[in-house]
Amino acid sequence: MQERTDRPLGHVPAHSHDGDCGHDHAHAHTPLPAIRSERTLVSARNLNLKIGSRPVLQEVGLDLEAGEIVTVIGPNGAGKTTLVRVLLGLQKPDAGEIWRRDGLVVGYAPQRFDIDKSIPMTVARFVAMGRATAANAEIADALKEVGAGRLEERQISELSGGELQRVILARALVRKPQLLVLDEPVRGVDYSGEAELYTLIGTLRSEHGMGVLLVSHDLHVVMAQSDRVICLNRHICCSGVPESVAQHPEYARLFGPQTARAFGLYHHQHDHRHDLTGAPQPVRALGRDKPANE
């Protein structure tokens, strides 16, 4: 069987082992790559974070390039939002390295955005908060792009959940970001809106060449648009092209065998199991650099 790398070999060698699940539970320190592709936007290695005594991130590493859509999936409490916050520099990890491109412009649409109704503000003004120099036409364009053109003069306190989600996305876009980070962007958006949204994200990537980091709890809806999927459950369970992740036993374990079976049967040597706390337990020793494709 071919080694399952998400990209042709040689592309960001630091995570070329990601396509398999043979990750190393000895957790040897992997330094940030000395030579970095000039397309790289964010690069992280060995991120560890505990909240109280509970580990939230364990040895998580990630690279994100311009023009690439990377999706982080995982169950509730898997540390998806925490990972995003750490990558954006909003939260400090206990250990690990993060590199961000100098002057990286980020458009961030956070999850659970409950707008404070006590702040009077029009939608247009809210979008303008994303970039002080944004012209009115740019604001209108950003709103049209996400299908919220008619909301421009409405008060943000009057928006429905789905409308607010689009307006937040418009604010992220008006920044002309190099990296767009969307945490559960379809929450509160109806089904047809959901498909539209992902099509839009795909378009943005190809037209503007921005890197996109998506967080989702559902692989199905992001399948078509993602270049790479990272399945997170505090540590990176598996990662790679969407098809390989969908067929991965870890994915099946996290999301139920029904979901996984929909993508067809796939045999894979699983090199670890999880204990009751979800912490990975090695089943047998693996050579660290040995590819796990048996």
Binding site for other proteins (CB under 8 A): 85, 88-90, 106, 108-110, 113, 115-116, 118-122, 125-126, 129-130, 132, 155, 168, 171, 175, 181
Minimal distance in Å, beta carbon 255 to other proteins? 27
> By C-beta, is 21 or 49 nearer to other proteins?
49
Give φ, ψ of 111 to 5 degrees: -80, 160
What φ, ψ does residue 238 adopt, rounded to 5°? -165, 160
| Minimum CB–partner distance for residue 156 and other proteins (Å) | 8
Task: Measure the CA–CA gap between 237 and 292, rounded to whole angstroms.
Answer: 14
The residue among 131 and 234 lying less far from other proteins, judged by its C-beta, is 131
Least distance from other proteins to the Cβ atom of residue 110, Å:
5
Burial class (CB in 10 A: 0-12, 13-18, 19+), 176: middle
Cβ nearer to other proteins, comparing 85 with 268? 85
In the complex, the smallest distance separating the C-beta of residue 118 from other proteins, rounded to whole angstroms, is: 6
**What are the DSSP E strand ranges found in 80-200?**
95-100, 106-109, 179-183
Residue 128 or 292: the one with the smaller Cβ distance to other proteins is: 128
Tokens of 210: 């921005």
Nearer Cβ to other proteins (115/279): 115
**Going by C-beta distance under 8 Å and a sequence separation of 6 or more, which residues neighbour residue 203?**
none
C-beta of 125 vs 274, nearer to other proteins: 125
Query: Looking at residue 53, what DSSP letter applies?
Result: T
Q: Shortest Cβ distance from residue 171 to other proteins (Å)?
A: 8
If we measure between CA atoms, which residue out of 186, 291, 274, 278 comes closest to residue 240?
Answer: 291
Which residue do the tokens 């767009």 mark? Answer: 180
Rounded least distance, CB 198 to other proteins, Å: 21
Where are the alpha helices (H) located in 17-149, listed in sequence order? 80-87, 123-128, 136-145
